[in-house]
Amino acid sequence: MCGIAGFAGVTPSEAAARSRLIAMCDAITHRGPDSAGYFVADGIAMGMRRLSVIDVQGGTQPITNEDGTVVVVFNGEIYNHHQLRRDLIAAGHRFRTRSDTEALVHLYEEHGVEMVSRLHGMFAFSIWDCRRRRLLLARDRTGMKPLSYRLSAGGIDYCSELRSFLAAPGEALSISPSAVMQYLAYGYVPDPASIFAGVKKLPPGHLLEWGANRSVEIRRYWNPGLPTADVGDERALVETLKVKLDAAVASHLESEVPLGAFLSGGLDSSTVVALMSRHASGRVKTFSIGFDESQYDESPVARAVASALGTEHTELIIRPNVEQIFESVAAMFDEPFADSSAIATFLVAQLARQSVTVALSGDGGDELFGGYSRYGDMLGKARPWPMLKLVGALGLMLPHAFRGRNRLADLGRSRWGRYAATVMQPVRLDEGGVASPSIPEGLIKIENQFDQRVSRELGEDFAAGMMLVDLESYLPGDILTKVDRTTMAVSLEARVPLLDFELVDFALTIPGSMRVTAASSKRLFRQAISDLVPKIVLTKPKRGFELPMGRWFRGPLRGRVEVLRAPSAALQPYVDRRAVARLVREHGDGRRDHSVLLWRLLVLDYWLSALATGKLSRPPSVPHAA
C-alpha cells in the first residue's frame, strides 16, 4: 500500500524536478511511512511513499523491467500476482523481487495497456514506457484506490491525494464552484470532478494514456454488467455465492505483516471475519469501537459476534473530544467530505493500527446485495401516477417550513426522481437549498448529472438499477473514499474482499428481486451466510453508524453552527446567508431536522479554512481517541 505522485511533459531541470517530486511525496508520507522512491529522467518524474506489506525487504519502488525501459509506481495490492508471475516467467520474463508490483512491468511488456483486464486487486498505478515515451495511468474497477490528474499545455501531473498538488512549489489551485454545488448535494465531490478547477479524478475502471506528443486518451476497460434473464434457480445461486464469498476472502489474506479485520457486528463484517477464521492459521484479530452513550453504541453486538467466532477481539469505548476529532477528520480528506461515519472509521482504524498493518473491511456488500433501507423503501412505494405531477408542483410552491412540503413534492417525481431525492440534498434556494444567488444557474443543475449516471439503468429492474447507480457513484465517492483516507491517515492498509471483481461480476448478474425486496434486504446474501455467522447477526435490524448530532449541535459544536451565519465564514462565497440562518434557526428551535445539511456546511467551512492556512498541503495530524 502506497501513495504515488508524478508528472510528465515539459519538466524543469533534473534537480528542480526531483525537488518538486519529493515535495509532492512528502505530503503523503502517511500513505507510506516505510520508504520513498523516485525516478527522474528527461520528461518524466515518478515518486512514491511505501507501506511495506508484501516482500517487505525487496519490494522497494519504483520497479523496472530487466533493461530499465518500463518503470512503475503502484498503490494497492494485486491478489493474483503469484499466478501472473508464473505465467510471465513461462513467457521468458525474469523477476528480481517477490513483490506484486514487479508483475506490473512485465505484464505491460507482454500485453501493453490491455494488462489492466488481467489484474485481480485494488490498484492505482502509473507506468512510464521509455521507448514510446508513453505514460499509462490506471485505477481499479470499483475505485478502491484514488488517482487524480491534471492536464496542461506542458504535460500531465497525477497523485494519490490532492495534497500532493498543494505541496508542489509554485502551485496555485482554485476552488471549482460547480464542485462545491455537487458537494452540497451529495456530501462528497463525485467522479470525475474534483474540488479544484482543472483537476479531475480518473473514474473507477478507467485508464489514461498520455503520449509525448501531448495526446491523451481516457477509456473504460471495465463495464459493470446488468442482470441476466437466465441465472438458474435460487438454490444454485446461493451455493455459487457461498463459493465466491469464500474465495474472495481467502484471496485477500496474503501479508508479511500483522493482519486483522474491522468488526461492527453487521452482516458484511461478520461474514468477512467468519470466512477469515476458516483460513487463518490462528485466531483472527478483530477491532471495534463504541460510544459511551448506549443509544449510539453497537459494540455489544460486535463483542458477541467475536465471542461466537472465537476471534482475538479488541474494542474501545470512547467519549471523543468533539472539537478536536471534527477538525482532524475533516482535514484528513483532500476534498470536503461530509459522511460523519468517517469519525468512527478513523477511530477503529487508529485502534487496529496499534496491533496490525492490514485490516479487512466489510464494505461493498450493501451496494451489491441490497442492504440499504432506501432500497426497500423505494420498492415499497407505488409507481408514480402521472396526474400527481401537478400535486408535486404545488408542493414545491409551499414555504420550506411547511411540514408536508417534501412529501407532496415527492408525489410528483418519477421513480428515479424519488430515488435521487433520497441520495441528494436540494441545492437551489427555491427548492430548500442554500446556494448563493451569485452562482450561475448552469453550475447548480445537479439533477442533470444524476440523470447521466442513471441513463443506462432505466430498465424494468429498478432494484438492480438502484444498486448499480450506487456501485458507480456512492461507493467510490463516499464509502471507499472514507475507508481509504481514514485508514491511510494512520498508515493502515484496508482491504475490501466483498469487492473482489469476480464476486462483483457474479452479483451484478442476479436479478434485483432476488437480492432485495420491499420486505427483505439482502435476500440471497442472507441465505448464503445463514450457517456461517451467529444468529444474532441475521436477526439484528440494519443500523447505519449514527452520531449524536442533535446534542453536538446544541453543545460542543454550537459555536461552529452559529459561525456559519457570520459574514467572515469561509463558505460565504458559495451560500446564501439568509438560507443558512434559516437552517440554523429552524434546527435550533426544533422545527426541522437539518442535521445532514448543517454537517455538510460545517465540514465545508472548516475544510476551506484549513486549505487557506496550508494545513491540507501536509500529512494529516492524527489525534488520540479520548
- For 54, 84, 200, 201, 329, the CA distances from 218, given in Å and listed in that order, are 30, 25, 12, 12, 33
Q: Is 130 a catalytic residue?
A: no
- For 266, 428, 446, 566, 592, the CA distances from 576, given in Å and listed in that order, are 40, 10, 18, 11, 19
Q: Which residue has the cell 519502488?
A: 61
3-class DSSP state for residue 289?
strand
- For 181, 428, 443, 574, 599, the CA distances from 178, given in Å and listed in that order, are 5, 13, 5, 10, 19
> Which DSSP string do the residues of 97-151 spell out, in sequence order?
-S-SHHHHHHHHHHHGGGGGGG--EEEEEEEEETTTTEEEEEE-TT--S--EEEE
3-class DSSP state for residue 498?
helix
8 A C-beta contact, residue 474 and residue 189:
no
C-alpha cell at 162: 490532492
Nearest to 259 by CA among 246, 274, 276, 271: 276
8 A C-beta contact, residue 82 and residue 41:
no
3-class DSSP state for residue 261?
strand
Report how far residue 345's alpha carbon sits from residue 483's, in angstroms, rounded to the nearest whole number: 7
User: If you ran DSSP here, which 8-state letter would residue 575 be given?
Assistant: B
Query: β-strand 148-152 against 199-201: which pairing, if any?
Result: antiparallel
Q: Which residue has the cell 485508514?
A: 487
Report how far residue 205's alpha carbon sits from residue 470's, in angstroms, rounded to the nearest whole number: 15
Q: Terminus-to-terminus CA distance in the chain, angstroms?
A: 28
Q: Which amino acid is it at 278?
A: R
Report how far residue 366's alpha carbon sits from residue 389's, in angstroms, rounded to the nearest whole number: 31
Among all residues, which ones are annotated catalytic? 2
